[in-house]
Amino acid sequence: MAFMTFEAFLILSAFALFSGILAYLYWINLGLEKKLTKIQALPKQPTQSEPTFYDAATQLPNQRLFLDHLSFEITHSKAPPKMIVVIKLSVNNLNEVSALYGREFGNNYFYELSKRLQKVVLETTIVARTQEDEFSILESEFKYVSEVLNFIYRLRAVLCTSYEYQNQLVIGQIGIGVALYPNDTDKVEELYDYASLALQLCNRSQSDYEFYQQSVNLQVKAQKGLINDLYEAVQSEQFYLVYQPQIDIQDNDKIIGAEVLIRWEHPTRGLVPPNIFIPVAEEAGLIYKIDEWVLEQACKQSSYWHKHGLNIKLAVNVSADHFNQPSFISKVSQFIFKYGVNPRLLELEITETAVMLEITKALEHMNEIKSMGLSLALDDFGTGYSSLGYLRQFPVDKLKIEASFVKEMVNNKSDSALTKGIIHLGHDLGLKVLAEAVENKDQLELLKSFGCDMVQGYYFSKPLLPKAFEEYLIKFQK
């Protein structure tokens, strides 16, 4: 101060103050600019002005914003391009949970999953809700596929556990499909679609996760080919029916009925198993025609056998979707009337899924079927999602224990306990219980000791053509 005049001090102070204000303004502006750039480029939080970018229930980005993020990442990926991972994650039991415990429960379940998901991902990960029952995840920080795998294991560990809400327990059931940039494609829409294809494959094969492979594309093409051939098959009657005897093991192994099973003899592919074409027919909406054809042929066969003194109850499989169709009941009564079938000789096999999809409709149809004099069997029992409370209300006559329990029962204590449990549960509810796919004497003896009423399976007979079935019946009943 001793070396400065008073005017010089004033000028310097004003200068310092001015530069301070400038620096402050610059700093504020910089922050503002940063914020603006971030929000304008890729908004992560919902804003009033852009509500269509977010899912209202979870506040997560929607499909549109997810694709924007993906497009941004791919266009800004410098050479050599870094790995960008797109994961599709489906919540496979959301519909069942909502049907069983109500929509509010379902919404809460999905919301809880979304919260758990956000806890397990990195700061930079984008998690979006891209469909009613689906999340999409975008991750660009991984270098190696092993990191992606670790991430998937973490996702499964966090999501596939139990959820409790209003004293009900639900286990998280998810499917995961993965596609990688630039390995699989460098196009935004394709990458997204490839993750969907991988997810479809995962859910169809019931695996924990699937990565997209060229072969998935081939499978989709093959499936399209199969759909075209199925149309052809429906028109030109390439189907035929076989009949598998059902045996009463508590009454001298008497044949009491037969399950009607469809076969498809394709002109070039050969025999296509129903496990392959039924799901495809269901997806393509062709199952109604096929089920209808089976029902009509079974009615014809029943009335033919009845006229020739063979009073055998025929059990016809009905697809989940078809059973709940408004026209289903009138079709059944139409065929019964047309072929003069005794309704006591006709049984419909429906799965738990059919019932759970639309409980009210299914219950209504079940009651109508029963009032017409037909009987009802609950197929593949034990694998689905039946609530025991609901089971009491179903007017079914029979539970069919899923083949996988029977298969492992002799060597696997928990399968044996489950089989025994289902038999006792069925009996407590006044139902008959039939075990499927009985292949050997050990299984038969164990089932007899559990008090199981009926069986079907290769131990007694494979599904047979009508003539062979008649011969079997004559030989066996002697």
| Burial class of residue 20 (count of CB atoms within 10 Å of its CB; 0-12, 13-18, 19+) | exposed
In 3D, which of 393, 314, 300 has the Cα closest to residue 348? 314
Least CB distance from residue 403 to ligand C2E, whole Å? Answer: 6
Least CB distance from residue 437 to ligand C2E, whole Å? Answer: 4
Least CB distance from residue 294 to ligand C2E, whole Å? Answer: 4
Half-sphere exposure of 247 (CA within 13 A, CB side): 23
Q: Is 140 in the site for Ca ion (CB under 5 A)?
A: no
- Name the one residue in this structure whose structure tokens are 């209808």: 292
Of these partners, Ca ion, ligand C2E, none, which one is at the site of residue 294 (CB under 5 to 8 Å by kind)? ligand C2E
* CB of 86 or CB of 290, closer to ligand C2E: 290
* CB of 64 or CB of 269, closer to ligand C2E: 269
Least CB distance from residue 303 to ligand C2E, whole Å? Answer: 18
Of these partners, Ca ion, ligand C2E, none, which one is at the site of residue 437 (CB under 5 to 8 Å by kind)? ligand C2E
Of these partners, Ca ion, ligand C2E, none, which one is at the site of residue 352 (CB under 5 to 8 Å by kind)? none
342 DSSP 8-state letter: -
Least CB distance from residue 478 to ligand C2E, whole Å? Answer: 23
Of these partners, Ca ion, ligand C2E, none, which one is at the site of residue 292 (CB under 5 to 8 Å by kind)? none
Least CB distance from residue 407 to ligand C2E, whole Å? Answer: 7
* CB of 248 or CB of 439, closer to ligand C2E: 439
Least CB distance from residue 241 to ligand C2E, whole Å? Answer: 7
Residues 6+ apart with CB under 8 A from 349: 259, 315, 316, 317, 318, 377, 378, 379, 400
Binding stretches for ligand C2E (CB under 6 A): 244, 261-262, 273-275, 278, 291, 294, 317, 319, 379-380, 403, 436-439, 456-458, 463
Of these partners, Ca ion, ligand C2E, none, which one is at the site of residue 139 (CB under 5 to 8 Å by kind)? none
* CB of 382 or CB of 457, closer to ligand C2E: 457
Of these partners, Ca ion, ligand C2E, none, which one is at the site of residue 458 (CB under 5 to 8 Å by kind)? ligand C2E
Cα gap 460→245, rounded to integer Å: 8
By rule CB under 5 A, what string of x and - marks binding of each residue 345-384 to Ca ion?
----x-----------------------------x-----
* CB of 347 or CB of 349, closer to Ca ion: 349
Three-class DSSP category at 80: coil
In 3D, which of 123, 120, 130 has the Cα closest to residue 86? 130
DSSP element (H, E) containing 248: strand 239-248
Cα gap 116→163, rounded to integer Å: 11
Least CB distance from residue 281 to Ca ion, whole Å? Answer: 16
| Burial class of residue 159 (count of CB atoms within 10 Å of its CB; 0-12, 13-18, 19+) | buried
Q: Is 453 in the site for Ca ion (CB under 5 A)?
A: no
* CB of 186 or CB of 445, closer to ligand C2E: 445
In 3D, which of 23, 127, 5, 117 has the Cα closest to residue 66? 127
* CB of 97 or CB of 377, closer to ligand C2E: 377
Q: Is 62 in the site for Ca ion (CB under 5 A)?
A: no
| Burial class of residue 188 (count of CB atoms within 10 Å of its CB; 0-12, 13-18, 19+) | buried
* CB of 89 or CB of 262, closer to Ca ion: 262
Q: Please give the residues from 281 up to 340 whose contact with Ca ion meets the rule CB under 5 A.
A: 317
In 3D, which of 334, 339, 300, 338 has the Cα closest to residue 316? 300
Could you please report the per-residue DSSP string of 128-176?
Answer: EEEETTEEEEEE----SHHHHHHHHHHHHHHHSSEEEETTEEEE--EEE
Of these partners, ligand C2E, Ca ion, none, which one is at the site of residue 87 (CB under 5 to 8 Å by kind)? none
* CB of 181 or CB of 405, closer to ligand C2E: 405
Q: Is 133 in the site for Ca ion (CB under 5 A)?
A: no
The type of residue at 32 is L
Of these partners, ligand C2E, Ca ion, none, which one is at the site of residue 274 (CB under 5 to 8 Å by kind)? ligand C2E
Size of the site for Ca ion (CB under 5 A): 3
Q: Is 402 in the site for Ca ion (CB under 5 A)?
A: no
Least CB distance from residue 349 to Ca ion, whole Å? Answer: 4
- Distances from the Cα of 322 to the Cα of 99, 351, 396, angstroms: 18, 11, 18
* CB of 280 or CB of 438, closer to ligand C2E: 438
Least CB distance from residue 378 to Ca ion, whole Å? Answer: 10
Three-class DSSP category at 45: coil
Least CB distance from residue 133 to ligand C2E, whole Å? Answer: 24
| Helices within 160-286 (DSSP H only) | 188-205, 214-236, 274-283
Cα gap 412→409, rounded to integer Å: 5
8 Å CB contact between 347 and 376: yes
In the numeric block, which tokens belong to residue 83? 């790995």
* CB of 73 or CB of 347, closer to Ca ion: 347
What residues line the site for Ca ion (CB under 5 A)?
A: 317, 349, 379
